[in-house]
Amino acid sequence: LPAVRISRRVDPLFLLQGGQILRVSTALSCLLGTPLRVRNIRAGRSQPGLRPQHLSGLEMVRALCDGKMEGGEIGSTEVTFTPGKIKGGTHLADTKTAGSVCLLMQVAMPCVLFAAAPSELHLKGGTNAEMAPQIDYTVMVFKPIVEKFNLTLDCIIKRRAVVKVMVQISPVKQLSPITLTDRGTVTKIHGRAFVAGALPVKIAKDMASAAVRCIRKEVRDLYVNIQAVREPDNEAFGTGTGIIIVAETSTGCLLAGSSLGKRGKSADKVGMEAAEMLLGNLRHGGAVDDYLQDQLIIFMALADGISRVKTGPITLHTETAIHFAEQLTKAKFTVTKSEDDGSSKDAYIIECQGIGLLNPNL
């Protein structure tokens, strides 16, 4: 079996993203029909081994391909996965915690693209979780950009907080490569600030106002439209606050900044954090933001042809995704400094010669 060993003897960046290594390697194992062993899972963490959200993702992939798994239990530091044939239909996953449904989607979605029939993923967990993409980001940024690979994705939010999300995906024969190197000019900035539960809508308005003030210090010629909303009680579970701000460009690029509230953190600080994140993504000149980089790597590796994406500084998540995509698919990645006249010193081009994976079912 090809073994993915997470060890202190390798570059430290591979110690940081234990869950991501599982997601990338398990999805590729499923797609390529290659058995996989992952060792030393989250070995450097205070709670080593699989957590509920990791296990629910693994179990979902095992189920959608009729695979076999050994070591699939909470706290396990070694998992052996043997994939079967990917099938469409309805697939369920429940983190049983507030673990991110967006991370569940990351592991399952590439797999069902190569199923024999359309799929529905019914995901239960957190929609707006710390250290993971917000569901709003997935819908507003990830979805329209990933569809450039010539796929169709629908994401329906049933309820927010610890809730259900339904994802509908049609299978593809093959993924098309993408080119995202010309960011163009920013034409629109919009977003939503939300509160849920017992919190007053004034908090959302304060987040939005603070974000607008921050953005206007650098972007003066555009109207910034951030809606302040209180989620209806029947569409939310629990209490929480958050904000996402998206910049759209003349070439169809989407870059975002987001932040979540928590006890003791002022509404102004939440709004300003999201605004600063967006402005940082606009300053580096990339065509994607820092949080989309690594999410595109697996699709670039599978696509038929050369994909090129201009980014800001390469993140540890992206380095990790590239490493394991190359190791498991034999796709060829290169990362070079962008030489464009208008690029900042922090702009890079990620190029990938994809393997052109074909769906044998279509």
Q: Catalytic residue positions?
A: 317
To the question of whether residue 291 is assigned a binding role by annotation, the answer is: yes
* Region label for 31, one of left (φ > 0), alpha (ψ between -120 and 50) or beta (otherwise): alpha
47 annotated to a ligand binding site = no
Phi, psi of 80 (to 5 degrees): -115, 130
- The one-character DSSP state at 8 is T
Cα–Cα separations (whole angstroms), residue 110 to 15, 84, 104, 153, 162: 24, 15, 11, 11, 24
Confirm or deny that 168 is annotated as ligand binding: no
Question: Is 53 labelled a binding residue?
Answer: no
How far is it between the farthest Cα atoms of the chain? 57
Relative to beta strand 119-126, strand 160-169 is antiparallel
Angle, in degrees to the nearest 10, between helices 101-112 and 52-64: 20
Three-state DSSP state, 5: strand
DSSP string over 138-167: IIIIIHHHHGGGT--EEEEE-SEEEEEEEE
List the 332-337 sheet strands across, edge first.
179-180, 306-311, 348-353, 332-337
Taking each helix axis from N to C end, the angle separating 52-64 and 18-32, rounded to the nearest 10 degrees, works out to: 0
Contact by Cβ (8 Å): 294, 314: no
Question: How would you classify the pairing of strands 79-82 and 68-70?
Answer: antiparallel
Find residue 69's DSSP bridge partners. 81
Is 103 marked within a binding site? Answer: no
In whole angstroms, give the CA distance from residue 49 to residue 27: 19
348 known ligand binder:
no
User: CA neighbours within 13 Å on the CB side: how many for 105?
Assistant: 33
Mark the binding-site residues, compressed into ranges. Answer: 106, 291-295
Mark the binding-site residues for ATP, compressed into ranges. Answer: 106, 291-295
